[in-house]
Amino acid sequence: MDDKILIILGSPRKKGNSAILTNKLSEGAVELGADVESVYLNGLDIKPCQGCEKCQEETFSGCAIEDDMNQLYLKLQEAKSIVIASPIYWFNISAQTKIFIDRLYAVGVGSKNIFKGKNIGIILTFADPDPFISGAVNALRSFQDICRYLGANITGMVYGSANKAGEIKNNYAVMEKALMLGRDLAQRMTIV
C-alpha cells in the first residue's frame, strides 16, 4: 500500500469552504512528510451506478461503466488514507459526492473490498450553524454506516458552518481541527 493521502473533493467549487479545509488538512499532512493528492470530482466524468451487478461477478474487476471512476479505483486502492470532503446541500452530501460513493460498490463489497483497514477522514461544511438543522448530521451518520460496513477506520470528522464561499477561514477552531486531522493521518502512515 502506498503511503499516500487521497483527498476526494465533492464540492462544485474549487475554492469553496470544503476546499479550504482540505487545503489546511493537506498542510498538516505535508508538514509531517505525507504525500497528498486531491481529486476534484466535479471536473470528472462520473456517471451514476446502474445497478447492473457486473462488478460483483467473480472474474470482473472494476465497473462496467467506462468513465473516470475506473481511474479513481486504482488511486483509492493505492492510498493508505482517504479524505472525503463535501458541502451539505439540501440536508445531505453533494450530488457529486453521492455519485462517487454509490460507485464504490464495485470495490467495496466482499472479497473486492479495498477499504478494509484504511484510515478515512471526513470534512463537511454547511450554512446553518446547527448540524441537525443543516442536515450535516445525516451525512455524518451516513459516513459512519459506510465506514462500518467497509471495515474502514474513521480517523476524524471535521465539520463547520460557513454561509458564504471562503467564510470558513474565519472559523479558527475548525481550521485548526483540519490541520490536526492532516497531521494525524500522516502520523498513522508511519505506524505499521
Sites in the chain below the pLDDT cut of 70: 1-2, 191-192
| Per-residue pLDDT at 146 | 96
| Per-residue pLDDT at 2 | 56
Helix spans in 32-171 (H): 69-78, 95-103, 105-108, 131-134, 136-150
| Per-residue pLDDT at 68 | 97
We report the CATH number of the domain holding residue 9 as: 3.40.50.360
Q: Which domain holds residue 32?
A: 4-189
Return the C-alpha cell found at 33.
512528510
Nearest CA-CA partner of 107 in 162, 69, 158, 144: 69
| Per-residue pLDDT at 1 | 44
C-alpha to C-alpha distances, 115 to 66, 107, 110, 150, nearest whole angstrom: 22, 8, 11, 6
pTM for the model stands at: 0.94
Count of domains in the chain?
1
Give the Cα separation of 90 and 87 in Å (integer): 10
